[in-house]
Amino acid sequence: MYQTLFYIPPEIFGIPIFGFGLANLLLAIIVLVAVVWRFVVIKKWDEEIGNYFAIFIVIGAVLMIAPKMMESDLGIPIRGYGVCLLVAILSALFMVLQLAKQKHISSDLIFSLCLWAVLGGIFGARIFYITEYWQDMLSYENGQLQLGATLYNILNIANGGLVVYGSIFGGILGSLFFMIRNKMPILVTFDLMAPAMMLGISIGRIGCLLNGCCYGGVTDVAWGIVFPEGSPAHFHQIEHGQTFYCGLKFAEQSIGNTLFLAIKEVQPQSDAERSGLKANMLLRRIVGVIDGKSLAWEVGTQRIIPHTSNKFACSCECCKRQESGTWRDTFEWIAYLQKMSPKEKIRFDIYSDRQKQETQPYFVTPTPSTVLPVHPTQIYSSISAAILCVILLILGRFHLFRCRNGLVFAVFLILYAITRFILETIRTDEDSFLGTGMTVSQNVSIFVFMMGFVLSAYLLLTNPKPEQQQSL
């Protein structure tokens, strides 16, 4: 896990880089030179020039809001996830350009197509993520929803938060719109894009590894990896009572329709045990001292919401509604207290009576937490995507696939759906979706597999077309 690679300073020689600064000036010069060069070469204003201006507007807007992304005086953080995403896009573009030459499709069309595919892919990937993790997007202060901070969370993709299936669907829709508008051969072009998408996913998954997301379950295999304290995998282990945190393991405990965060187990001979904390106690508040001031975090509760009637009531994640904060927020608050006040004890307030609001305090000295090794599912995904890329490239050379346009793309849908479904059984970062016992991605995988199966069956049952050389 290596989230931040380096920082871009906010200014050089006293001149700001972002906002109305050097970066936007350099971007404007580059776009102006590109537009002039294009106009001189073709002697007319075409859609490609319009795309240059679209790029200028999008990147320029990002550069304008970049100062809000600064971390104190360090500057703009360059995340490993974002760098891998950029490399993935450029690598996929290069592959499509090389494959398009074999079909005599112009590079200009491919550049424009990829712009639509990338924008559609990022938009779709973010929409999928926001839909799946919408509670993580919400930002509260003193119980009030902060619209500005929430909007920033929604737009901030540099720290991760893109769903691969969303990028596939978004990229397909964006590409389809462009291909129909420019009368490109749809199935032929999707055949070219299929292995490139796999290459992009393979590189992008390395970004997931650097970011610490998309992690696997706890394992004892020799190649298991250990993420640092405070990582998403670590908090997942704490949240599910797999490792001790401040000498405590935690678990949900239900009383009626209300879920509390309870102590599951107390580590023997720990400060938590010496303080008097015991299993089955319900957490109400966590207090720490920062800069001489006592600051409290209300742990909050969750309420069980049945599906459509009590007959189908359950306690799966889809049936819970967070009323104040989340368990993950609680653990991050403890981590924050440990970082800001390492010499201070943390006060745990416990419900002294499950029907009343009074609490009893316990003081615990923070101690390091053990992070358990997990399956490197990001590496599994990267390797499997690279293998699928090679398979699709090889299949594209066979006569059967050359005379049936779209068959490579159909195989891509089938194989990726199968591998993703299998990998989801190892990952633990997603919960069951709508009580199906499967994650969102597994449910989508079934749908994608069916799409690929129907498309391949249709293509194989139709009369093969003679190989044609496209010229666009």
| 41-84 confidence digits (pLDDT tens) | 776 666 677 777 777 777 777 777 666 667 667 777 788 888 89
Domain co-membership, 46 together with 142: no
Domain co-membership, 69 together with 101: no
Q: Are 317 and 135 in contact (CB under 8 A)?
A: no
d(CA 472, CA 465) in angstroms, rounded, equals: 19
Domain co-membership, 214 together with 136: yes
Evaluated on CA atoms 416, 419, 424, 427, the torsion sign reads: negative
d(CA 248, CA 86) in angstroms, rounded, equals: 41
Domain co-membership, 172 together with 257: no
Among 331, 364, 397, which residue terminates a domain? 364
Domain co-membership, 272 together with 358: yes
Domain count, the chain: 3
Helix/strand/coil for 2 = coil
- Judge whether 178 lies within some domain: yes
- Judge whether 371 lies within some domain: no
List % helix, strand, coil for the chain (3-state, nearest 5).
Answer: 50, 15, 30
Token readout for 121 is: 């892919």
Q: Are 356 and 221 in contact (CB under 8 A)?
A: no
- Judge whether 114 lies within some domain: no
Question: Which tens digit of pLDDT belongs to each residue from 128-147?
Answer: 777 776 666 666 666 666 67
CB atoms within 10 A of CB 187: 16
- Judge whether 115 lies within some domain: no
Domain co-membership, 359 together with 340: yes
* pTM across the whole model: 0.79
> Closest Cα partner for 188 from 116, 113, 88?
113
The H-assigned helical ranges of 182-284 are 186-211, 232-239, 271-275
Domain co-membership, 419 together with 314: no
- Residues in Cβ contact with 236 at an 8 Å cutoff, skipping those fewer than 6 apart: 215, 428, 429
Domain co-membership, 396 together with 422: yes
d(CA 270, CA 266) in angstroms, rounded, equals: 8
User: Hey, what amino acid is at 393?
Assistant: L
Look at strands 283-290 and 346-351 and give their pairing. antiparallel
CB atoms within 10 A of CB 385: 22
Question: Which tens digit of pLDDT belongs to each residue from 88-117?
Answer: 988 998 999 999 888 888 888 888 888 888
Domain co-membership, 354 together with 261: yes
Among 343, 364, 385, which residue terminates a domain? 364
pLDDT at position 218? 93
Centroid of chain to Cα 269: 39
- Residues in Cβ contact with 461 at an 8 Å cutoff, skipping those fewer than 6 apart: none
d(CA 386, CA 25) in angstroms, rounded, equals: 38
- Judge whether 195 lies within some domain: yes
- Judge whether 439 lies within some domain: yes
| Domain of residue 312, CATH code | 2.30.42
Q: Tens of pLDDT along the chain (472 residues)?
A: 777 788 878 778 778 887 778 887 888 888 888 878 877 777 666 667 777 777 777 777 777 766 666 766 777 778 888 889 889 988 998 999 999 888 888 888 888 888 888 888 888 888 877 777 666 666 666 666 667 767 776 766 655 567 777 888 888 898 888 889 888 888 999 999 999 999 999 999 999 999 888 899 999 999 999 999 888 899 889 988 899 998 999 998 888 778 888 999 999 989 999 999 999 898 888 988 877 788 888 887 776 555 443 333 344 444 444 433 468 788 888 888 888 777 788 999 888 765 556 677 899 988 888 899 999 999 999 999 999 999 999 999 998 888 888 999 999 999 999 999 999 999 887 777 667 778 888 888 999 999 999 999 999 988 776 555 455 5
- Judge whether 46 lies within some domain: yes
User: Which residue segment(s) compose the domain that 64 sits in?
Assistant: 1-74
Q: To the nearest 10°, the Cα dihedral for 124, 137, 6, 85?
A: -10
d(CA 128, CA 443) in angstroms, rounded, equals: 13
- Judge whether 112 lies within some domain: no
Domain co-membership, 57 together with 85: no
Domain co-membership, 165 together with 99: yes
Domain co-membership, 239 together with 180: no
